[in-house]
Amino acid sequence: MTEIRSHKNHGEGRTCVITRRACFSASHYYSLPELSADDNALLFGNCSIAPGHGHNYELIVSMAGELNKDGMVLNLSEVKHAIKEEVTSKLDFRCLNETWPEFDMSKSTSYLPTTEALARSIWERLKDHLPIVCLKLYEQQNLWAEYIGDDMDAYLTIQKHFAAAHRLAREELSPNENDDIYGKCARPHGHGHNYLVDITVKGSINKRTGMICDLSKLQEIVENLVIEPFDHTFLNKDIPYFANCVPTAENIALHISDLLVEPINSLGASLHKIRLQESPNNAAEIYIEKTDIKSTK
């Protein structure tokens, strides 16, 4: 008689986070009916012009759960169907202002379809269908929002670029000692990078504008305090802070965070994180708020 044994997946009962990507194209515009056309233009710039402008949105849905006997958290076909049924079929090739009730600006309780507000609205449509733990919504490659179900709080990230040179060396050390610590990066004439810097801010979504903070002012602050001063410089010689501080990716990210904390606070948001990518293989992240990240030895 053949013995029949039940199969148990190696990871069954263990928690796992999976992601599903979905895309849709939609247009939107920012205009508050209680303001004049001139005031809307002053507040939102070209984004206030109807019938609006469009984006190719990319949505990343993160879901958590235990592995079942089939080695899955969820059936991906069912995940795909839920996202399509609840979100993309409703938004694809539409004007966001004319889709969901919360974007109907004729109602005093509605808000504009900004990236962060749209992420929150998508969460509300999916939370009863999928065990979501995070939504990331890209409006552009260099602008995205994250929402984790925390009432009206959300995260907004802008990505900027600058090119700069640096040399990693401590003046009090000998050439051999610097070479032992920093390797090629200690060579006397330095070397350059095309840096990418992600600035992530956290705040409450305004219940009328749909914004965490004024995006154009955020862009202006970063441009004036970081990009313009840093771009096409030799950091060790052209940026006073690095005259006595080795411009590693970590120290550059830390200095950028110090430059931006107070100006971003003045916008009504808080700086959450700076991520500086030095090369495709090397990046540093500085969290301004306390995190649960612990060093391991």
Topology, domain 13-149: Tetrahydropterin Synthase; Chain A (3.30.479)
pLDDT-above-90 percentage for the chain? 90
Is 58 considered catalytic here? no
| Cα separation values, 278 from 123, 164, 170, 198, Å | 33, 10, 20, 12
Model pLDDT, residue 297: 39
Pair of tokens at residue 75? 């059936």
Closest C-alpha to 258, from 213, 295, 215, 226: 226
Residues of the chain with CATH 3.30.479.10: 13-149, 150-297
Model pLDDT, residue 70: 87
Q: Please name the residue that has the structure tokens 């795909």.
A: 80
Cα–chain-centroid distance for residue 10? 34
The tens digit of pLDDT for each residue in 222-260 reads: 999 999 999 999 999 999 999 999 999 999 999 999 999
- CB neighbour list of residue 95: distance below 8 Å, 6 or more residues apart: 26, 27, 28, 29, 51, 52
Answer whether residue 111 shows pLDDT above 90. Answer: yes
Residue tagged active-site, from 129, 185, 245, 250: 185
Residue 113: phi and psi, rounded to 5, are -80, 65
Answer whether residue 2 shows pLDDT above 80. Answer: no
Residue tagged active-site, from 102, 116, 146, 278: 278
Identify which has the larger pLDDT, 191 or 10.
191
pLDDT-above-70 percentage for the chain? 93
Strand ranges in 91-247 using DSSP code E only, listed in sequence order: 94-95, 132-140, 143-147, 153-166, 191-204, 233-234
| Rounded CA separation 184/178 (Å) | 10
Model pLDDT, residue 4: 38
Pair of tokens at residue 12? 């069954």
Backbone torsion region of residue 183, taken as left when φ is above 0, otherwise alpha when ψ lies between -120 and 50, otherwise beta: left
Model pLDDT, residue 289: 76
Is 7 considered catalytic here? no
Name the strand (E) or helix (H) holding 260. helix 249-265
Neighbouring CB atoms inside 10 A of 250's CB total 15
Model pLDDT, residue 9: 53
Answer whether residue 5 shows pLDDT above 60. Answer: no
Q: In the 8-state DSSP scheme, what is residue 221?
A: H
Backbone torsion region of residue 146, taken as left when φ is above 0, otherwise alpha when ψ lies between -120 and 50, otherwise beta: beta
The tens digit of pLDDT for each residue in 268-285 reads: 999 999 999 999 999 999
| Rounded CA separation 216/112 (Å) | 16
Is 185 considered catalytic here? yes
Pair of tokens at residue 180? 């032992």
Model pLDDT, residue 290: 64
Q: What CATH number labels 150-297?
A: 3.30.479.10
Model pLDDT, residue 7: 44
Mean pLDDT of the chain: 93
Question: pTM value?
Answer: 0.91
